[in-house]
Amino acid sequence: MTDIEQRIKAESEARAMAQYKKSLAPTVKPHSGFVSKAALEKRLDQICEIIGKGVGQLVGKRVTKLEEIVAELEERKSLYDAGIWNKEEAYAAGAVVTCDGCAWVAKGKSVGRRPGKSQQWRLMVKSGGVAR
Protein backbone atom coordinates (compact mmCIF):
# COMPACT_ATOMS: atom_id res chain seq x y z
CA MET A 1 0.00 0.00 0.00
CA THR A 2 1.37 3.37 -0.96
CA ASP A 3 1.68 6.33 1.34
CA ILE A 4 -1.27 8.02 -0.28
CA GLU A 5 -3.44 4.91 0.14
CA GLN A 6 -2.39 4.62 3.79
CA ARG A 7 -3.23 8.28 4.36
CA ILE A 8 -6.65 7.92 2.69
CA LYS A 9 -7.35 4.80 4.73
CA ALA A 10 -6.30 6.54 8.00
CA GLU A 11 -8.44 9.61 7.19
CA SER A 12 -11.38 7.37 6.34
CA GLU A 13 -11.02 5.46 9.61
CA ALA A 14 -10.71 8.74 11.52
CA ARG A 15 -13.92 10.05 9.89
CA ALA A 16 -15.72 6.79 10.68
CA MET A 17 -14.55 6.96 14.28
CA ALA A 18 -15.67 10.61 14.56
CA GLN A 19 -19.11 9.74 13.20
CA TYR A 20 -19.35 6.80 15.61
CA LYS A 21 -18.46 9.02 18.59
CA LYS A 22 -20.92 11.64 17.38
CA SER A 23 -23.69 9.02 17.27
CA LEU A 24 -22.96 8.10 20.89
CA ALA A 25 -22.97 11.69 22.13
CA PRO A 26 -26.66 11.85 23.17
CA THR A 27 -26.32 8.76 25.38
CA VAL A 28 -22.82 9.22 26.76
CA LYS A 29 -22.16 12.41 28.64
CA PRO A 30 -18.74 13.30 29.94
CA HIS A 31 -18.50 13.58 33.73
CA SER A 32 -15.91 15.74 35.33
CA GLY A 33 -16.25 13.98 38.70
CA PHE A 34 -16.69 17.33 40.46
CA VAL A 35 -19.91 18.48 42.13
CA SER A 36 -19.96 21.92 43.67
CA LYS A 37 -20.44 22.42 47.38
CA ALA A 38 -23.47 24.62 46.68
CA ALA A 39 -25.09 21.86 44.58
CA LEU A 40 -24.46 19.31 47.34
CA GLU A 41 -25.88 21.62 50.00
CA LYS A 42 -28.96 22.30 47.86
CA ARG A 43 -29.57 18.57 47.34
CA LEU A 44 -29.01 17.87 51.04
CA ASP A 45 -31.55 20.56 51.92
CA GLN A 46 -34.05 18.94 49.53
CA ILE A 47 -33.48 15.51 51.08
CA CYS A 48 -33.81 16.90 54.60
CA GLU A 49 -37.05 18.64 53.63
CA ILE A 50 -38.49 15.40 52.24
CA ILE A 51 -37.42 13.43 55.31
CA GLY A 52 -38.64 16.20 57.59
CA LYS A 53 -42.10 16.17 56.04
CA GLY A 54 -42.35 12.40 56.46
CA VAL A 55 -41.12 12.48 60.04
CA GLY A 56 -43.33 15.48 60.77
CA GLN A 57 -46.40 13.66 59.51
CA LEU A 58 -45.56 10.56 61.53
CA VAL A 59 -44.85 12.53 64.69
CA GLY A 60 -47.95 14.66 64.09
CA LYS A 61 -50.14 11.54 63.96
CA ARG A 62 -48.58 10.21 67.17
CA VAL A 63 -48.96 13.54 68.96
CA THR A 64 -52.60 13.78 67.86
CA LYS A 65 -53.26 10.29 69.24
CA LEU A 66 -51.53 11.18 72.53
CA GLU A 67 -53.57 14.38 72.79
CA GLU A 68 -56.75 12.33 72.34
CA ILE A 69 -55.67 9.95 75.11
CA VAL A 70 -54.82 12.83 77.46
CA ALA A 71 -58.19 14.50 76.76
CA GLU A 72 -59.97 11.22 77.52
CA LEU A 73 -58.04 10.80 80.76
CA GLU A 74 -58.77 14.38 81.78
CA GLU A 75 -62.49 13.82 81.20
CA ARG A 76 -62.51 10.89 83.61
CA LYS A 77 -63.71 11.93 86.99
CA SER A 78 -61.53 11.10 89.92
CA LEU A 79 -63.04 10.07 93.22
CA TYR A 80 -63.10 12.45 96.15
CA ASP A 81 -64.37 12.15 99.70
CA ALA A 82 -67.54 14.20 100.13
CA GLY A 83 -68.36 12.96 103.64
CA ILE A 84 -71.82 11.95 104.86
CA TRP A 85 -74.63 12.41 102.32
CA ASN A 86 -76.70 15.56 102.85
CA LYS A 87 -79.83 16.23 100.78
CA GLU A 88 -78.98 19.96 100.65
CA GLU A 89 -75.50 19.36 99.20
CA ALA A 90 -74.71 19.37 95.45
CA TYR A 91 -72.46 16.49 94.40
CA ALA A 92 -70.43 16.19 91.22
CA ALA A 93 -69.49 12.97 89.46
CA GLY A 94 -66.84 11.12 91.49
CA ALA A 95 -68.11 12.28 94.88
CA VAL A 96 -67.94 9.47 97.45
CA VAL A 97 -70.46 9.72 100.30
CA THR A 98 -71.59 7.47 103.11
CA CYS A 99 -75.27 6.83 103.57
CA ASP A 100 -76.93 4.17 105.76
CA GLY A 101 -73.56 2.50 106.42
CA CYS A 102 -72.66 2.14 102.72
CA ALA A 103 -70.25 4.07 100.50
CA TRP A 104 -71.70 5.52 97.28
CA VAL A 105 -70.14 7.17 94.22
CA ALA A 106 -71.96 9.86 92.28
CA LYS A 107 -72.17 8.96 88.57
CA GLY A 108 -73.18 12.49 87.63
CA LYS A 109 -74.38 15.75 89.15
CA SER A 110 -76.76 15.06 92.03
CA VAL A 111 -78.70 17.39 94.31
CA GLY A 112 -81.24 16.07 96.81
CA ARG A 113 -81.22 12.56 95.35
CA ARG A 114 -80.65 9.92 98.02
CA PRO A 115 -78.04 7.23 97.27
CA GLY A 116 -79.77 3.88 96.69
CA LYS A 117 -82.96 5.62 95.57
CA SER A 118 -81.54 7.37 92.49
CA GLN A 119 -79.76 6.22 89.31
CA GLN A 120 -77.22 9.03 89.92
CA TRP A 121 -75.47 6.92 92.56
CA ARG A 122 -73.55 3.65 92.38
CA LEU A 123 -72.94 1.43 95.40
CA MET A 124 -69.22 1.29 96.11
CA VAL A 125 -69.07 -0.56 99.45
CA LYS A 126 -72.02 -2.35 101.01
CA SER A 127 -72.39 -2.25 104.77
CA GLY A 128 -71.41 -5.45 106.48
CA GLY A 129 -71.23 -7.02 109.92
CA VAL A 130 -69.36 -5.56 112.82
CA ALA A 131 -65.60 -5.94 112.56
CA ARG A 132 -63.83 -7.65 115.48
Mean pLDDT value across the chain:
84
- 69 pLDDT more than 80: yes
Query: Residue 38: pLDDT above 90?
Result: no
For the residues 45-60, what does the mean pLDDT come to? Answer: 85
pLDDT band at 25 (very low <50, low <70, confident <90, very high): low
* Kind of pairing between the strands at 95-99 and 102-106: antiparallel
Q: How confident is the model at residue 33 (pLDDT cuts 50, 70, 90)?
A: low
CATH top-level class of 80-125? mainly beta
Question: DSSP state, 125?
Answer: E
Q: What is the mean pLDDT of residues 90-115?
A: 93
> Residues with Cβ < 8 Å from 113, sequence gap 6 or more?
120, 121
Task: Give this prediction's pTM.
Answer: 0.44
Decide which of 107 and 3 is more confident.
107
Choice among 58-62, 82-86, 102-106 with the minimum mean pLDDT: 58-62
- Contact (CB, 8 A) for 121 and 104: yes
Q: Which residue has the higher pLDDT, 9 or 82?
A: 82
Q: What is the pLDDT of residue 23?
A: 65
